């Protein structure tokens, strides 16, 4: 936040909020904004949330607070886990999950929409089809805004929960080989996760069809930090050496030419046969939704962590809401 923004926000601190809390009033736009200490702090709070939910289910940390859930693109997990997170913390939600039924359908701009919502809500969660939309919206609201996916840009809260999942499932990140599979071009989750993992001592394998490779700009950014990145087209080349296999859906909605999608949509499918080759101790992740990239026959494999990954997401989002609202 700039000094000017901090000054503006400082005049809007409601009674009872902790203005010295490290995340108070901050926007969450990109994983690039986090320090190592931030990550440790977020995960510590997420663990506390996990324990509290296990012990008492819900509590009143955010009682009286309102979240505006503004989704211009479809969502099941991100939208409902932010709702669940807010409600388990005693707060309430304004759901705008289908902008067709909001004034967006009358031509209202994103800046006007977030300016309007800030009049009612204490925090805004935004999913939008355009890269950079959250950064733009953040310029027009004094309330904290959280990026829930901006087109092919980033999905920072997903990357945080993915990292939290790796820590929960495998106990460490340093020393791991993480293999990302599928649509690395349009998959915003892998864009954020690769950036986040590059802070650690990891090797990144990128397995995709040629037309869906990790964008060069992200590869170059990560290369500057010295993280090894190896490009493959064949999953068989790396599955046996991978500690984490992170599978993504080919994003049909981002293709201009349906024939291009048809040519690559079934390129990689994880089956029980695939898992026979994988390490005994590894984690198979997927941000979901899946289409056909992981066979349902794999779901009962203890290494298949994608449904646990969803649950971890709620604890991480509880932590983020509490932090940006100055209550953790």
The residues binding ligand CP (CB under 6 A) are 75-79, 149, 158, 287-289
Rank residues 11 and 100 by Cβ distance to ligand CP and give the closer one.
100
Rank residues 149 and 153 by Cβ distance to ligand CP and give the closer one.
149
Rank residues 75 and 242 by Cβ distance to ligand CP and give the closer one.
75
Position of tokens 């340093």? Answer: 174
Position of tokens 């604890």? Answer: 315
Rank residues 24 and 312 by Cβ distance to ligand CP and give the closer one.
312
Q: What minimum distance in Å lies between the beta carbon of 75 and ligand CP?
A: 3
The answer to whether the beta carbons of residues 87 and 61 sit under 8 Å apart is no
Q: What minimum distance in Å lies between the beta carbon of 228 and ligand CP?
A: 27
Q: Which residues of 66-104 are buried (b: 16+ CB within 10 A; e: fewer)?
A: bbbbbbbbebebbbbbbbbbbebbebebeebbebeebeb
CA–CA distance, 30 with 158 (Å, rounded to integer): 11
Q: What minimum distance in Å lies between the beta carbon of 126 and ligand CP?
A: 13
Query: Which residues have C-beta within 8 Å of that of residue 40, sequence separation ≥ 6?
Result: none
Q: What minimum distance in Å lies between the beta carbon of 81 and ligand CP?
A: 8
Rank residues 209 and 287 by Cβ distance to ligand CP and give the closer one.
287
Rank residues 143 and 155 by Cβ distance to ligand CP and give the closer one.
155
Query: Which residues have C-beta within 8 Å of that of residue 311, sequence separation ≥ 6?
Result: none
CA–CA distance, 312 with 50 (Å, rounded to integer): 8
Q: What minimum distance in Å lies between the beta carbon of 89 and ligand CP?
A: 19
Query: Which residues have C-beta within 8 Å of that of residue 158, sequence separation ≥ 6?
Result: 78, 149, 188, 189, 192, 193, 287, 313
Q: What minimum distance in Å lies between the beta carbon of 157 and ligand CP?
A: 9
């Amino acid at each position: 936040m700039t000094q000017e923004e901090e000054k503006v926000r400082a005049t809007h601190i409601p009674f009872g909020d902790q203005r010295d809390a490290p995340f108070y009033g901050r926007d969450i736009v990109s994983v690039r904004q986090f320090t190592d200490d931030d990550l440790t702090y977020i995960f510590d709070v997420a663990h506390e949330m996990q324990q509290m939910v296990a012990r008492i289910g819900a509590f009143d940390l955010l009682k009286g607070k309102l979240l505006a859930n503004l989704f211009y693109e479809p969502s099941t997990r991100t939208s409902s886990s932010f709702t669940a997170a807010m409600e388990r913390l005693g707060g309430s939600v304004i759901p705008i999950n289908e902008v067709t039924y909001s004034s967006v359908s009358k031509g209202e701009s994103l800046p006007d929409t977030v300016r309007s919502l800030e009049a009612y809500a204490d925090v805004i969660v935004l999913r939008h089809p355009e890269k950079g939309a959250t950064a733009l919206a953040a310029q027009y609201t004094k309330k904290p805004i959280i990026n829930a996916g901006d087109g092919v840009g980033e999905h920072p809260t997903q990357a945080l929960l993915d990292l939290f999942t790796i820590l929960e499932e495998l106990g460490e990140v340093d020393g791991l080989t993480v293999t990302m599979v599928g649509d690395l071009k349009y998959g915003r989750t892998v864009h954020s996760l690769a950036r986040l993992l590059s802070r650690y001592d990891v090797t990144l394998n990128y397995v995709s069809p040629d037309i869906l490779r990790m964008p060069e700009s992200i590869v170059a950014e990560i290369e500057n930090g010295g993280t090894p990145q190896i490009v493959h087209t064949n999953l068989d080349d790396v599955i046996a050496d991978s500690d984490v296999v992170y599978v993504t859906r080919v994003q049909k909605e981002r293709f201009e030419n349906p024939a291009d999608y048809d040519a690559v949509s079934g390129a990689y499918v994880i089956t029980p046969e695939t898992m026979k080759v994988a390490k005994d101790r590894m984690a198979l992740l997927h941000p979901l939704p899946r289409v056909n990239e992981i066979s349902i026959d794999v779901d009962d494999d203890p290494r298949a962590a994608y449904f646990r990954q969803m649950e971890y997401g709620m604890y991480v989002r509880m932590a983020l809401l509490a932090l940006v609202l100055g209550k953790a």
